[in-house]
Amino acid sequence: MTAEQEQAGRAKPALKRAKKRVFSGIQPSGDVHLGNYLGAVKGWTRRQHERESFHCIVDLHAITVPQEPETLRRQTRSLAAMLLACGLDPKVCTLFVQGHVSAHAEAAWILNCVTPLGWLERMTQYKDKAAKQESVPTGLLDYPVLMAADILLYDADEVPVGEDQKQHVELTRDIAERFNHLYGETFVVPQPVIPEVGARVMGLDNPMVKMSKTFAHIRGHVVRMLDEPKEIERSVLRAVTDSGNEIRFSDDPEKAGVNNLLGIYQVITEKSREQTERDFVGARGYGDLKKRVAETVIAELTPIRDRYERLMGDPAELDRLLAIGADHARSIASPKLEEMKRKVGLTTQAH
């Protein structure tokens, strides 16, 4: 390493801001489900007033697996309406579409050039998704570098995600540290923020796998945010449990189904673990538990569905809000990208 690079690698004090900055993303790759909501989106809405928040609809990530263009377009707008319906307030936070801010793709290219291939090949999500494809697009392998670009362009302090994304945020930290070391202090090294409950909502049909858009076609796997109350009731009442009748939290894999239902109830009601268990003292078996959970989910999702329908009635207004979000995002991302280019030598002027 040159003396200049060594000098550049010394730590710079963390940025001082009035509020911590948060960045998170969600793919417009299918219907939003209870796992996305409880593991990520509900927390975003709760914290948006205490943090300077950026929430991004990551369409460039969505195309790492095949997408029908018209469907992708529709889902992008629909996801924007859903996030607003869940409570993200465009006057308080920044909501935008990743592909509308070209800095993300440019920054990803620069970060690609400092990311060893072996780091990407180790990612468990890549291994899982690649195993399901006959021909693996390069973008699928590169997915976490684009995610690092998303986060680092905004100097985010915190990245609120479900448990499945923790490895990607850790990789982002490694990439940030490597770039800082090679080119001088440039990026804030972000922290993953994983909720204590709800970080891994499991499939109702199989409590050993995480609830996922990928399995949404399997009947009874997900509760979609837009499911009708009858459908929600049917899925929850059919949820796989065990042959016992004890309603309590447990790490026992046998009790994963009951644990999942209690977790869903706890995140929605915002009660403690003890209070949650107390609510089911005297319940008559899992039938009562499921009925109560179904009612709780329906009560939470019904107003969201109503707001979603209203928002989808005015697509021009949705597009206007997304354009404002992208303008603001660009005002932060563009100077950061310029700084990256300068550090790497991609501009003719060093200062």
Q: Report the catalytic residues.
A: 129, 210, 213
Whether the Cβ atoms of residue 39 and residue 199 lie closer than 8 Å to each other = yes
| Interaction between residue 200 and ligand ATP (CB under 6 A) | yes
Q: Where does this chain touch ligand ATP (CB under 6 A) — which range of 21-29, 97-105, 269-277, 291-299? A: 21-29
Triad 174, 338, 89: Cα angle to 5° = 75
Q: How far is CA 40 from the centre of its chain?
A: 6
Whether the Cβ atoms of residue 46 and residue 15 lie closer than 8 Å to each other = no
Distance CA 154, CA 152 (A): 5
Question: Which of ligand ATP, ligand LTN, none is residue 36 near (CB under 5 to 8 Å by kind)?
Answer: ligand ATP
Smaller CB separation from ligand LTN, 150 or 155: 150
Smaller CB separation from ligand LTN, 158 or 279: 158
Smaller CB separation from ligand ATP, 35 or 90: 35
Q: Where does this chain touch ligand LTN (CB under 6 A) — which range of 21-29, 77-85, 116-124, 257-265? A: 21-29
The HSE-up count of residue 103 (CA atoms within 13 Å, CB side) is 24
Helix (H) or strand (E) holding 1: none
Smaller CB separation from ligand LTN, 27 or 186: 27
The HSE-up count of residue 173 (CA atoms within 13 Å, CB side) is 13
| Interaction between residue 27 and ligand ATP (CB under 6 A) | yes
- DSSP letters, 211-249, are --GGGTTSTTS--BTT--HHHHHHHHHT----S----S-
| Interaction between residue 35 and ligand ATP (CB under 6 A) | yes
The closest residue (CB) to ligand ATP is 39
Pattern 219-258, binding to ligand ATP, x per CB under 6 A? ----------------------------------------
Residue 270 is encoded by which pair of tokens? 């915002």
Distance CA 295, CA 281 (A): 18
Question: Which of ligand LTN, ligand ATP, none is residue 176 near (CB under 5 to 8 Å by kind)?
Answer: none
Interface with ligand ATP in residues 162-191 (CB under 6 A): 162, 164-165
| Interacting residues toward ligand ATP by CB under 6 A | 26-27, 29, 35-36, 39-40, 161-162, 164-165, 199-201, 210-214
